[in-house]
Amino acid sequence: MAPYIKVGDTIPKGEFGYIPWAPELENNLACGVPSKINTETDWKGKKVVLFSVPGAFTPTCHTNHLPPFLEKYDQFKAKGVDVIVVIAANDLFVMSGWARFEGCKDKIVAISDSGAKWSAGLNLSVDLTDKGLGVRTARYAMIIDDLVVKYIEVESAPGVTVSGADAVLAKL
């Protein structure tokens, strides 16, 4: 799969639902307050590492993709990253629940690409209907600096290589 976006391109405008981390969320009965992230306003002037997973709580995403980004958070910050974002087609409540389960707190922002619409517009969605999952975001990663793509890679096979924390860190 070749994405429609490449290094040097400006990312398209996107608005994503998410639930900002707050101490009240430590109580697993709290759901948080739904909010929006707008790429044009919230990421302008910032260095953003965005990695995409097909689904929260799914085996590879849950055990091999998100945890290394969290474990290497300080290394990303030391390289000037302002925001680390995980994106998936799951709804914002599932993304918030997964981020809480993983212990992301305010270190990784979990956003919902509802219906994988933004990712699909970049040719970065995958149809997993035959596995009972529907259309999802593909497994990919980007480094975005002031809305311009500096790195983008898409996994061509199952597993985490070019979209993983180590690969992204090496490109910062």
C-beta of residue 97 within 8 angstroms of C-beta of residue 90: no
Say whether 61 is catalytic.
yes
Three-class DSSP category at 170: helix
Q: What is the C-alpha to C-alpha distance for residues 121 and 105, in angstroms, rounded to an integer?
A: 29
Tell me the C-alpha distance between 98 and 112, whole Å: 12
Pick the closest to residue 45 from 172, 142, 146 (CA basis).
Answer: 146
The one catalytic residue in 19, 61, 95, 108 is 61
By annotation, the residues acting in catalysis are 61
